[in-house]
Structure 1
Amino acid sequence: MISASNAVSAYLRATQAATPQPQAETGFSQAAQSFEKLMNAADTDAVGAMSGTTETHQLVQSLSEAELALDTVVAIRDKVVEAYQEILRMPA
């Protein structure tokens, strides 16, 4: 049976397996980095809550911020896909 500490350590190893290469700073890359920081903070707080080192209110706040950020990213993605589909429908 897998213990909680084994699951946490396996999760941490998996998230560190592939590190992205640094890119030039643009508005989009800064927004993506901010999103990544929010998601990493939520992951860290979730792992901390499982191990008992993070307080519950910090976990709830972090997860709420991550959910709001994810909703925003999904809305932006939907708009980009919609614009791309509109471009494809344009006559040549």
Structure 2
Amino acid sequence: MSSLGFNPYNTLNTTARAIDAGGAVGKPEASGNQIAEGIGDFRAALQQAEQTAMQTAVTGADPHAMVQALSNAELMLDAVVTIRDKVVEAYQELLRMPV
């Protein structure tokens, strides 16, 4: 199976290495860029899955490539939905806090 292109564990591994090295965990550099890259990777995976599915339907290209691309897109979608659910949950917790 091909690489997802979007690895939600990259940031966690970077933080763990910084802690193991004895350094203090500081402010992440350009975290907005990481989010933008993640969204771009997600969009690219969906576009690739769509193109592969159309090629398979029209020209009879390799069906295994189509299944692989669709599985990749499904994994990416699951990751995005999980992240969205966590953000909504955190927002709801903030709303429940007494003022």
TM-score (norm 2): 0.66
Which residue does 1:15 correspond to in 2? Answer: none
Is 1:33–2:40 an aligned residue pair? yes
4+ residue runs over 4 A deviation: none
Cα deviation for residue 45 of structure 1 reads 0.6
Cα deviation for residue 50 of structure 1 reads 1.1
Question: Could you say which structure has the greater relative contact order, defined with CA pairs below 8 angstroms and 6 or more residues apart?
Answer: 2
Matches within 5 A, 1:4-83: 26-83=33-90
2:36 alignment partner, SS class:
helix
Q: Map Cα deviations across residues 36-80 of structure 1 (whole Å, 9 max, x no partner).
A: 000000000111111025210000000010000000000000000
In 2: Cα distance, 1:40 partner to 1:54 partner: 17
Segments of 5+ residues of structure 1 without an aligned counterpart are 1-24
Q: Map Cα deviations across residues 2-53 of structure 1 (whole Å, 9 max, x no partner).
A: xxxxxxxxxxxxxxxxxxxxxxx71100000000000000000111111025
Matched residues, percent identical? 44
Which residue does 1:5 correspond to in 2? Answer: none
In 2: Cα distance, 1:84 partner to 1:52 partner: 47
TM-score (norm 1): 0.70
